[in-house]
Chains A and B, each alone.
Chain A
Amino acid sequence: MIPLMHSLIFATTLFVIGLFGALTRRNFLFLLLSLMVMINGAVIALVAAGAYWQLADGQIISTLALSTALAESCIGLALLVKIFHRRKTVNIDALSEMKG
């Protein structure tokens, strides 16, 4: 039996790694990857919570979360392809049209 705290620390670590990646990477692909890593962290937290309380809810929500993550990554990759096709770059800072 893995103690809850360990799994939560693991989930947090994953989440923080993903967050850090999302904040620092300029590449669109890596941005998507970091998002996936963050969602994985969240999923692990959910599963750990479900196991701790001996309930199936955690499993169910983790399934939902994963499916959303997959849908998201699909849309993200489709956008990536389109943007690369249009702008010949995957650097999101270069793509940014927001004015400071």
Chain B
Amino acid sequence: MNLLYLTIIIPLLSFIVLVCLGRNIRKESIIVIGISTIILLCLLMAFVFIDYQANIIPDTSLIYSRFLWEWFTVGTTKISISLQLDGLSLVFLIIISFFSLIIYFFSACYLKSSNDIYTFFAYSNLLISSLFLLILADNLFVLFVGWQGVSISSYLLMGIYYQKRKISLSVIKAFIVMCVSDAFLLLGILLIYNELNTLNIHEILTLANQNLAVESEIVFWISITLFIGVMGKAGLFPFHTSFSETALAPMPVITLLQSITMVTSSGYFVLRLNPLFMMSSDIFVIMGVISAVALIFSSCISLVQNDIKSLVTYINLGQISYIFFVFSIQNWILSLNFMISYSVTSALLLLSSSILIKVCNGEQNIYKLGGLYHRYPILYIAFLLSAASLCAMPWVMSAFYTKGDIIWGLMMNNKMGLGTIALVGILLSTLSILRLIFTVFHHKQKLTHFSVVSKLSYVPLVILAVMSTAVFIYIPLPIQGIIPAFNLDTENQLILQLLLAAVTILGILIACILFFDSNSEISEIANTPIGRMVFKLWQSKWRFDQLLQFLFVRPCLYLIELVKKDPLSRWNQLVTWGIRKINFQIEFLENGRLRWYMMSIVGGSIIILLLLILI
């Protein structure tokens, strides 16, 4: 336990080493450094986990905190760097280290050029280090530092292919969106400080219960600003740009960002401050509505994408909104379970897509692939498993139980509309993932030659595929006392499960009818005027970018045009202009004729004499 600080230091050191030396050392040594970093980290985590389990007393929550040093003091507030580990942080740390291990291993097999590898490993180390800082921090200020570290390293990771102008611009856009939401988070933190005069998380939670009134306005504002900050990290609807632009990065980066970073950082934040959020019930209504909008938004986009990367990205974006569905019914334990299940599913989907792209020589358009199922059976099975997880395959996948519980909880909380939307979301994600699978694996084969992928990169797929099945539904999590328990009324739940199964089977049937053969029905639908309009709208991602352009970019440019001439500096210009004018008027006096000078001297002295005499 006392070695906990090493979990932050080791990746940071590795990052510094790789950034300094990465250009000049061989690819193999970079891989060795990256992998050894993550293996060390995992060993440390295993050690910490064993230590934690050894010290735990049943029915209590063990909180280990380690004061490192005092950072600075403002008035009476001391900001100290100290690490705090309890069950919740432990769960998140284990998730992060496990998935990072898998992804590092995979990317060592996957990435080709040494340039990509060194940037990937360096920035991922920075990312993991900031994530650990975020999760181990015991006060909100240090947590915010970790949060910003995550933002900047996500930006760096997305921009690995920065040589392409379009990509670098998109990444900047994503970063700006992230920064906007981070500013809101900071605003929330400052509001908390303003109300409670402390930044220590534990103190905040106790003081908030004593000093702040439930449902008061300030609590609402605090929770809404914090929630907007979380939205930017999790990629919920208005701030989804930070999530969807990850699709421009190399595949391992996408996996790292989408299946771990976004979810763990935002989810951890909400779970850690859940008592604060629970003091305001409006925020949960907002969460539910926003996640419903986000779900429909992203599912519709994913239905018509032809590019594998963006299709999978939008599917994952839809899945993330389920987490906020759970938050909105305040079933925190379920949300943790669903996060784990989501991480597994999305990582499985992304890694299998990356192998698919790799064997097809980097071809990303699904209509240029086809008929691969007898060629790559393992890949096919991995895709089918992730699809089953997304469809919530009845009684087989863990997602069935978690999503079933989510929808059940929504229905029990009298949020029928949201429950229906969650069901529709399952249907839509089923359709989009099956469209991908059928198009790629069943239609006529179009590619002729394939690249070879090492057998090693299938290992993570197998591990993840095993983890996504129903064996791993309700892992016992050491979170008593941190997260309030939640008892679902399980009566009549079988009916709901049957309904869910029916929805799933319906989705599979529709997908089979529409996409199994390259038939003309879908193109007929797409060629009606309404269909064409809707398809165009979805393919351009609801024209969200144009909306941003219209709402923010254009006014900004207009303002820039206005102030380009700097109206406030007109005064200064006026002074210089006047001086210049006078200068033009009297310039002829200086002509180099001595007689002129004498004349002016004489005239001047005459005037002075007259003044002396007359006054």
Residues of A within 8 A of B (CB): 19, 22-24, 93, 96, 98-100
Tell me whether A100 and B591 are in contact (CB under 8 A): yes
A19 touches B594 (CB 8 A): no
Docked pose: A27 CA to B76 CA in angstroms: 89
- Considering the complex, which residues of chain B in the window 577-615 have a beta carbon less than 8 Å from any beta carbon of chain A? 590-595, 598-599, 602
Chain B residues, CB < 8 A from A100: 590-593
Query: In the docked arrangement, what's the CA distance between A19 and B593, Å?
Result: 16
Q: Are the CB atoms of A98 and B594 closer together than 8 Å?
A: yes
Contact between B592 and A19, CB atoms less than 8 A apart? no
- Min distance, Cβ A15 to any Cβ of chain B, angstroms: 11
The answer to whether A19 touches B602, judged by C-beta atoms less than 8 angstroms apart, is: yes
Given contacts A23-B595, A23-B599, A96-B592, could you give 9 more A-B pairs where the C-beta distance is less than 8 Å? A22-B595, A23-B598, A93-B593, A96-B593, A96-B594, A98-B592, A98-B594, A99-B592, A100-B590
| Distance A100 CA – B597 CA, assembled complex (angstroms) | 11
CB distance from B46 to the nearest CB of A (A): 88
The SS class assigned to the B binding surface is helix
Q: Which 8 A-B pairs have the closest CB atoms?
A: A100-B591, A98-B592, A100-B592, A99-B592, A23-B595, A23-B599, A100-B590, A23-B598
| C-alpha gap A93/B599 in the complex (Å) | 15
> For residue A99, which residues in chain B have a CB less than 8 angstroms away from its CB?
592
Separation of A83 and B42 alpha carbons in the complex (Å): 100
Interface residues of B (CB under 8 A from A): 590-595, 598-599, 602
Chain A residues near B592: list those with CB within 8 A. 96, 98-100
Determine if B593 and A23 form an interchain contact, defined as CB atoms under 8 angstroms apart.
Answer: no
B594: chain A residues within 8 A (beta carbon): 96, 98
* Minimum Cβ distance to chain A for residue B232 (Å): 67
B452 to chain A, nearest CB (A): 83
Contacts of B590 in A (CB 8 A): 100
Chosen A-B contacts, 7 in total, with CB atoms closer than 8 Å, are A19-B602, A24-B595, A96-B594, A98-B592, A98-B593, A98-B594, A100-B592
Q: How far is the CA of A4 from the CA of B565 in the complex (A)?
A: 70
Closest to A26 in B: B595
Chain B residue contacts of A23, Cβ below 8 A? 595, 598-599, 602
Q: What are the residues of chain B within 8 A of A96 when measuring CB–CB?
A: 592-594
Residues from chain B with Cβ under 8 Å of A19 in the complex: 602
Nearest chain-B residue to A19 (Cβ)?
B602
Residues of A near B598 (CB, < 8 A) are 22-23
Kindly provide the distance from the CB of A52 to the nearest chain B CB, expressed in whole angstroms. Answer: 20
Q: Which residues of B contact A93 (CB under 8 A)?
A: 593
Bound together, the chains give a CA A71 to CA B591 distance in angstroms of 31
Contacts of B602 in A (CB 8 A): 19, 23
Complex: A93 Cα to B593 Cα, angstroms: 7
The residue of chain A having its C-beta at the shortest distance from the C-beta of B588 within the complex is A100
A48–B592 alpha-carbon span in the complex (Å): 38
Complex Cα distance, B603 from A19, in Å, reads 11
Q: Please measure, in the bound complex, the distance between the C-alpha atom of A99 and the C-alpha atom of B593, giving whole angstroms.
A: 8
A24 to B594, CA, bound (A): 11
Contacts of B593 in A (CB 8 A): 93, 96, 98, 100
Complex Cα gap A9–B21 (Å): 96
Most buried by A among B591, B593, B595: B595
Shortest CB-to-CB span from A18 to chain B, Å, is: 12
User: Closest approach, in angstroms, between the C-beta of A71 and any C-beta of chain B?
Assistant: 22
Nearest B-chain residue to A25, judged by Cβ: B595
- In whole angstroms, what is the CA distance A100 to B593 when docked? 7
